[in-house]
Structure 1
């Protein structure tokens, strides 16, 4: 039986991604930018729950539980806001707006996956972030986070919970990016 690497996410709309792309472009000129692997714009998302490898026979139950999680959560305002880093290895853009609802949706997506029988990692405080770049080596990311610190993206309404398939980059291909495909999406609210 085949499995798929899946995660639940909220995806920014194209105008918000356009705006963020404009703010990120100058960062490619910051000293040290060459040490970073910049995520492709098509991969920008706010992960709610990473599900790992999911077997085909689990999908019907998982889909129905994710649908319930979406319907129990009302649409909420969101915007890309500011920046941060995880150690010296990941640069990200943050979020502002309905963060309590975003955290609730993340908890519901994780619970849906657990109830469908998926082994989910221990719960830790959810930090909404949209990964912009990663590094295999320790990099001083402060110049990048400082450059994006004041970024205030346009307000948009998060109205959908997406289940996304992740395909890892092809080994040995320079610049190869993970590929993401929305396999199912459910509207928020009733």
Structure 2
């Protein structure tokens, strides 16, 4: 038996509330855009289509080790983009600013942990983002990008990441369930040897 799982950073509620207030007037503007909801907003560090049940415990142990080796860092939601391109967008997203090198390193460590645990993760190039909307068909997204490039959220301190199971529900989207939280810890200082 396998489970669809991902490892992600969830911004704090007040940060998501700010983005939600900014996005709210745009939601009714276009029926070809399926807007995501704040309860599903996150920054994916790694996604695994199929996590074998017998590999999950080792994966969790390895994620704990990753968290122990990474210090908290600061991010903010800012900017906008689309996949695969603005001319043929299927996904609209907001990006991050701040200590982006830290989130990139954390993602790489999480992906290595999955690999060592025998779990295959999506191998695409990592670009930290929060998905705002999906389009029913590929479309020109420049107008949306211009609007969401104006959004700049408040900075927040990333203090943990989560392992989340994604349960597909026919016709009702995905339901996310947090399996485990992993607090980031400052690297321990070793006592000098004599």
Structure-2-length-normalised TM-score: 0.89
Gaps of 5+ in 1: none
The answer to whether the aligner puts 1:98 opposite 2:99 as a matched pair is yes
Q: How does 1:146-157 map to 2 (within 5 A)?
A: 146-157=146-157
SS at the partner of 1:143?
helix
Greater gyration radius: 2
After superposing on structure 2, the runs of 4+ consecutive aligned residues of structure 1 that deviate more than 4 Å are: none
Question: Which residue of structure 2 lines up, in the alignment, with residue 20 of structure 1?
Answer: 19
Q: CA deviation at 1:146?
A: 0.6
List per-residue Cα deviations over 1:12-61 (Å, max 9, x = no partner): 1000000000111121243xx21011112111000000022112111110
Name which of 31, 34, 37 aligns with 2:34. Answer: 37
The answer to whether the aligner puts 1:185 opposite 2:185 as a matched pair is no
Alpha-carbon RMSD across the aligned residues, in angstroms, is: 1.3
Question: Which residue of structure 1 lines up, in the alignment, with residue 112 of structure 2?
Answer: 111
Question: Which residue of structure 2 lines up, in the alignment, with residue 72 of structure 1?
Answer: 69
Gaps of 5+ in 2: 187-194
SS at the partner of 1:118?
coil
Higher-strand-fraction structure: 2
Q: CA deviation at 1:165?
A: 0.6
Aligned residues: 182
Distance 2:23 2:13 in 1: 15
SS at the partner of 2:31?
helix
Name which of 35, 56, 60 aligns with 2:57. Answer: 60
Distance 1:39 1:29 in 2: 13
